[in-house]
Amino acid sequence: MTSNSRIVALIVAAGQGSRAGGDIPKQYRRIGGKAVLAHAHDALTAHGGVSAIHIVLGEGEEERAQAVLGDRVAHFVTGADSRRGSVRAGLTAIAASGGADIVLIHDAARPFLPPSVIDRLLAALADAEGAIPALPVADTLVRSDGALMGDGVDRTDLHRVQTPQAFRFQAILSAHDDWDEAREATDDAQILRAWGHDVILVQGDERLEKLTYPEDFARAEARIVGARTTRVGMGYDVHRLAPNEELWLGGVLVPHDRGLAGHSDADVALHAIVDAILGALADGDIGSHFPPSDPQWRGASSDRFLAHARDLVLKRDGRIDHVDLTIICEAPKIGPHRDAMRAKIAEILDVPVDRVSVKATTTERLGFAGRGEGIAAQAVATLSLPTLF
Ligand SMILES: Nc1ccn([C@@H]2O[C@H](COP(=O)(O)OP(=O)(O)OP(=O)(O)O)[C@@H](O)[C@H]2O)c(=O)n1
Ligand SMILES: C[C@](O)(CO)[C@H](O)COP(=O)(O)O
């Protein structure tokens, strides 16, 4: 694998989910408010190396799939009666749309995919045409003899095999094309191996468990709901007060004899909140998302920057628990505008207004704010994010 390798993900989601029961196939059921298929898509997209996602669906399921995927992007392919047939249909579609160097074949029914597993798989492809995640079997294994226990099975060297399975694309495509249709195979690594290639085992992950039976969903739900962490970020910004400028503060146009100067509308309060949210996400700062050198942000309303920060939180399945803003200036008085600012910030962040605090202070006429040369703002944002990975 080189850093230029084109890595394409293939999610198989054309099964009936008959063992899982329920009214709809398991890939469309929700865990933590998000469809199983969307979890799998997000996990693959979150790995920066994946350049395209193909999803194999049951016949006529495109609308249902797009409904649960929202604005996530994927190429849809119609599947077959067996998982093997569905994978083959997906590989054929990838070949027809430009091919790939590497393909990651993944069950939609394995929604929790840590990026570290993908890293291990891709690294292993330096030494083989295929690599799969596997976990050693830990329990005692026995055959059943009706309701009775039969002979024990030696568990030495036995592993549970998971997905995604990583392959050099041409190798797995050829192996599938050459496979005897009369035989079944429960995974793609068997097909590659039967064609004469080595497949490397890398360490799998307990979180990758496949959703197969009804009780698996309750466990998955408990995992995602329980596993959240609180993140706190802080932001600070200053802009200069200048004549002939409008004064935008906290998303509100405040009447004043001067306004704040800057590349955008210079709303120092919203900028501080954006940086606080980005800080909690550990995702750079406002300048790295909206470079001042980019002319498209000249005079831009800072509402857009704050909406962008909100969307980054939502994309990570996060929630904005609280924002605390302090505006530091001698004038104008913030009190008369406080409620309008709180309402506006809450509207942009799409949170109840009681999660937004706006405070103000002077610096007792000391420093640049005290002399009325500029306005400063600082903010603290508290987020709740999933901690699965
Ligand atoms: N004809 C099929 C069968 C399975 N799959 C996909 O293969 C993955 C793993 O299969 P499995 O857990 O066996 O899913 P189902 O076949 O849906 O389950 P069941 O056997 O209980 O009906 C699932 O994401 C499933 O959607 C597929 O794309 N096409
Ligand atoms: C491919 C697979 O996920 C590897 O463990 C598994 O074999 C697919 O599930 P199935 O029940 O065998 O269809």
Map out the domains of the chain as residue ranges: 7-226, 228-386
**3-class secondary-structure state, position 333:** coil
Nearest in space to 9 (alpha carbons), one of 57, 50, 68, 58 = 50
List the beta bridge partners of residue 56.
Answer: 12, 77
Is the separation of the CB atoms in 55 and 75 below 8 Å?
Answer: yes
pLDDT recorded at residue 389: 52
Q: Can you give the pLDDT at residue 1?
A: 61
Structure tokens at 81: 């009666």
> Would you say the CB of residue 340 lies under 6 angstroms from ligand 2?
no
Gap from CA of 282 to ligand 2 centroid (Å): 36
Spell out, as residue ranges, where the chain has pLDDT lower than 70.
Answer: 1-3, 226, 388-389
- Of ligand 1's listed atoms, the one at least distance from the Cα of 57 is 28
Residue found by looking up tokens 């996400």 in the block: 281
Q: How much distance in Å is there from the Cα of 202 to the middle of ligand 1? A: 23
Residue with tokens 């085992």: 201
Q: What pLDDT is attached to residue 4? A: 82
CA of 33 to the centre of ligand 2 (A): 25
Q: Are 269 and 239 in contact (CB under 8 A)?
A: no
Ligand 2 atom showing the smallest separation from residue 187 Cα: 1
Structure tokens at 258: 């001067």
382 close to ligand 1 (CB < 6 Angstrom)? no
108 lines ligand 1 (CB under 6 A): yes
In this structure, the number of other CB atoms found within 10 A of the CB of residue 283 comes to 15
C-beta of 107 in contact with ligand 2 (< 6 A) = yes
Q: How far is CA 257 from CA 44, 260, 299, 343, 347, in A?
A: 52, 11, 19, 24, 28
pLDDT for residue 2:
61
Q: Would you say 54 and 11 are in contact if contact means Cβ atoms under 8 Å apart?
A: yes
Question: Which ligand 1 atom lies nearest to the CA of residue 87?
Answer: 28
Question: Does the C-beta of 209 come closer than 6 Å to ligand 2?
Answer: no
Cβ–ligand 2 contact at 161 (below 6 Å):
yes
Ligand nearest to the CA of 111: 1
The rounded Å distance from CA 22 to ligand 1 centre is: 14
Distance of CA 213 to the CA centre of its chain: 25
Query: Residue 19: helix, strand or coil by DSSP?
Result: coil
Tell me if 94 CB under 6 Å of ligand 1.
no
Taking each helix axis from N to C terminus, what angle separates 36-46 and 62-69, rounded to the nearest 10 degrees? 60
Looking at residue 386, its pLDDT comes to: 79
* Residue nearest (by alpha carbon) to ligand 1 atom 9: 107
Amino acid found at 173: L
Ligand 1 test: best mutation among 10, 11, 12, most atoms within 8 Å of CB? 12
Q: Tell me what pLDDT residue 151 has.
A: 96
Q: What pLDDT, on the 0 to 100 scale, is given for residue 300?
A: 87
Cβ pair 45, 53 in contact under 8 A? yes
Q: How far apart are CA 14 and CA 27, in angstroms?
A: 9
Tell me, using a 6 A CB cutoff, whether residue 83 lines ligand 2.
Answer: yes
User: Is 251 within 8 Å of 348 (Cβ atoms)?
Assistant: yes
Q: Which residues are annotated as a binding site?
A: 237-239, 263-264, 271, 285-287, 361-364, 368, 371
**Pocket of ligand 1 contains residue 133 by CB under 6 Å:** no
User: Ligand 2 centroid to 267 CA: how many Å?
Assistant: 54
Q: How far is the CA of 77 from the centre of ligand 1 (A)?
A: 15
- Rounded to whole angstroms, the Cα distance separating 168 from 273 reads 45
Ligand 1: centre distance to CA 164 (Å): 14
> What are the φ and ψ backbone dihedral angles of 300, each rounded to 5 degrees?
-65, 145
Distance separating alpha carbons of residues 234 and 238, to the nearest angstrom: 14
Q: Whose CA is nearest to atom 12 of ligand 2?
A: 186
Q: Nearest to residue 166, comparing CAs of 217, 215, 206, 128?
A: 128
Where helices occur in the chain by DSSP H, the ranges are 36-46, 62-69, 83-96, 115-124, 169-178, 188-194, 214-226, 268-281, 286-289, 303-315, 338-349, 367-370
Homologous superfamily of the 228-386 domain (CATH): 2-C-methyl-D-erythritol 2,4-cyclodiphosphate synthase (3.30.1330.50)
| Integer Cα distance of 5 and 49 in angstroms | 9
The verdict on the CB of residue 184 being under 6 Å from ligand 1 is no
Place of tokens 């698996």: 216
For tokens 């690594």, the residue is: 189
27 CA distance to ligand 2 middle (Å): 14
- pLDDT of the residue at 221: 87
Does the C-beta of 15 come closer than 6 Å to ligand 1? yes
The domain covering 7-226 belongs, at the CATH homologous superfamily level, to: Spore Coat Polysaccharide Biosynthesis Protein SpsA; Chain A (3.90.550.10)
Give the position, in ligand 1's atom list, of the atom nearest the Cα of 110.
24
Strand partners, 166: 104, 131
